[in-house]
Chain A
Amino acid sequence: MDHSATTPIDSRVVDAMMPYLTQRFGNASSIHQFGQEARAAVDKARRQIASLISARANEIVFTSGGTEANNLAIRGVCEAAQAHGRHIITSAIEHPSVRGVLEYLEKNGWTITRLPVYDGGVVRIEDVRAAIRDDTVLISVMMANNEIGTIQPVKEIGALVRATRESGQKHLSFHTDAVQASGRIPIDVEHVRCDLLSLSAHKMYAPKGTGALFIRRGVRLFPQQIGGHQERERRAGTESVPNIVAFGKAAELAREEMDQRQEQTERLRDRFEEKVQSRIDDIVFNGDRRRRLSNVSNISFRFIEGEGLLIHLDMQGVAVSTGSACSSGTLEPSPVIKALGRDEELARGAIRFSFGKDNTDEDVDVAVEAVARAVESLRSISPLARESLST
């Protein structure tokens, strides 16, 4: 129930990558036949990934993951465009790998506008329009949020950026972090009109350690890894051939099975929410339920804190997340839930359940029972729950 954190590797993906972990170990930069075999495999994967998002193969740059793709996109474009302005627009609910880069740039003299997402967890296009200044060089808004799954108006932002550029502001770029969206909803970069788009392999049933950045032809970007000619000088370093082959295969499967996976996870998610709602009182769903990824459910349980619930569920064999998976272990309540205007108690009691293609009805039913037991137990020791009964 934690597929937004990561996914199991599909057996068909393992089969595809296995030869590149054993016999076909060539370096894709070598001229001899071993190298050329590896090069052909990397190029095939590049086409498979391009095809998932309707891009051209030479617009895909492989990275070590989604975090590096976000770093390369934001820092790369900002360094290239800084002579034209040092203002960036983003949302209040970006993943830490975007949020952190922007905080770093802010400390170095850049101005950041963080757009509100209101109680539904969705940016409003009129706020984006109003935030654009003469010195804005980048808009970075995620495609779908990692905690609540809400889908952002990226197509509208893409059209706005295109129009702004045509009216003379040539140095404005649009980046979207599609790590959670990719493989889960159809993506067409011609439709979204983004200039940069980040992807990660391990969210779509491939191994950890590989991601990609779509860089639209003509977009100026300074590399962040220097010291090699790989990836057309945009990302130095020997390509991780087996991981890239796996990523390509996973992208191909995601494209072929997209509808089926969406229907399956939506059915499981809706079954889960219906049952939780009928079993447990005093809960709040987080994020606009009509506008989110089909596999995510984020619920705040009043009177209790998420970490205790997570450990309870873990002991019953059900894995979930509180806040962002990366921030587990810190005391800070989720900034995403707080951005929805929720009070501290609801932000601390938020849990993300995220379903995958291999989950079953039985998994959902086991999880519902586990959640009901855990919530009841934690509320029995909560002073907040007692106080609510006496008022």
Chain B
Amino acid sequence: MPYSDIFKDHLANPRNAGELPDANAIAEETNPVCGDRLRLSLRIKDERIEAGRFLAYGCAPTLACGSALAEMLEGSTVEEARALTRQEVIDAIGGLSSRKQHAAALAIEALRKALDEVADR
């Protein structure tokens, strides 16, 4: 399937790209098969994600999923973030072919890892 307009827009104009200097939750996930990487940094206060940034390397879906996820997270509660699914990330970028859905899985794994880091403290 061709990439959607919203997908391409995430790629051309990534939302919330970069790293937060005052993040209190940082996590990075790597896809061991293809080497794609996604790094999330979140600033969480009173169970709410005040700010979220992403960095990504890899195929286009990985970059688009990173951008979409970082945008979705800002302003959400930790509970809402924990409930986010792979499909919701896929829907946010206008769909992905089954061969490319691992990119959304990588995004959700990075998110869970970041949230676990906060919970462990």
Asked if A308 and B37 make an inter-chain contact with CB atoms under 8 angstroms apart, the answer reads no
Binds A, one of B11-19, B73-81, B88-96: B11-19
Count contacts on A: residues with CB < 8 A to the other chain. 20
Contact A382 to B59, CB < 8 A, known contacts A308-B11, A312-B11: no
Chain B residues in 8 Å Cβ range of A344: 35
Within 8 A of B (CB), among A314-355: 315, 329, 331, 344, 348
Is A305 interfacial (CB-CB < 8 Å)? yes
Query: In the bound complex, do residue A377 and residue B19 qualify as a contact, i.e. CB atoms below 8 Å apart?
Result: no
Residues of B within 8 A of A304 (CB): 57
State the CA gap A284–B54 with chains docked (Å).
27
Q: Is the interface of B mostly helix, strand, loop or mixed?
A: mixed
- A331/B56 in contact, CB under 8 A: no
**Contact call A305/B57, Cβ cutoff below 8 A:** yes
The residue of chain B having its C-beta at the shortest distance from the C-beta of A303 within the complex is: B57
Q: Which residues from chain A contact B63 at a C-beta distance below 8 Å?
A: 308, 378, 381
Instruction: Let me know if A383 is at the binding interface, CB within 8 A.
Output: yes
Q: Identify A305's interface contact among B3, B59, B67, B99, CB under 8 A.
A: B59
Nearest residue in A to B36 (C-beta to C-beta)? A305
- Does B27 sit at the interface, judged by CB under 8 A? no
Q: Is the CB of B72 closer than 8 A to any CB of chain A? A: no
Supposing A311-B3, A331-B34, A377-B14 touch, asked if A382 and B8 sit within 8 A by C-beta, the answer is no
Rounded to whole Å, the gap between the CB of A87 and the closest CB of chain B is: 34
Flag whether A239 is at the interface (Cβ < 8 A). Answer: no
Interface flag for B20 (CB, 8 Å): no
Interface string of B36-78 (1 = CB under 8 A from A): 0101000000000000001111111001001100000000000
0/1 string, A40-81, CB within 8 A of B gives 1: 000000000000000000000000000000000000000000
Asked if B28 and A383 sit within 8 Å, CB to CB, the answer is yes
Q: Is A18 an interface residue (CB 8 A)?
A: no
A12 interface hit (Cβ, 8 Å): no
CB-defined contacts of A279 to chain B, threshold 8 Å? none
Chain B residues contacting A311 (CB-CB under 8 Å) are 3, 8, 11-12, 60
A307 at the interface (CB under 8 A from B): yes
B59 partner, pick from A307, A380, A381, A386, beta carbons under 8 A = A307
CB within 8 Å of B: which A336-391 residues? 344, 348, 377-378, 380-384, 386
Partner of A383, one of B14, B33, B56, B99: B56
Residue in A303, A304, A348, A383 whose Cβ sees the most chain B Cβ within 10 Å: A383
Q: How many Å lie between the Cα of A383 and that of B58 in the bound state?
A: 10
- With A and B bound together, what is the CA distance between A109 and B66 in angstroms? 47
Partner of B57, one of A331, A377, A384: A384
- Which residues of A are found within 8 Å of B66, using beta-carbon distances? 381
Q: Across the interface, do B59 and A377 meet the contact criterion of CB distance under 8 Å?
A: no
- CA A378 to CA B67, docked complex, whole Å: 12
User: A383–B35 Cα gap in the complex (Å)?
Assistant: 12
- Given A304-B57, A312-B11, A315-B8, A381-B17 contact (CB < 8 Å): yes
Min CB distance B36 to A, Å, is 8
Cα–Cα distance between A303 and B63 once the two chains are bound (Å): 13
Binding site for B on A (CB under 8 A): 303-305, 307-308, 311-312, 315, 329, 331, 344, 348, 377-378, 380-384, 386
* 7 A–B contacts from the bound complex (CB under 8 Å): A305-B59, A307-B59, A311-B8, A315-B12, A331-B59, A383-B55, A384-B37
| The 6 residue pairs across chains A and B that have the minimum distance between CB atoms | A383-B55, A381-B17, A307-B60, A308-B60, A382-B57, A331-B34
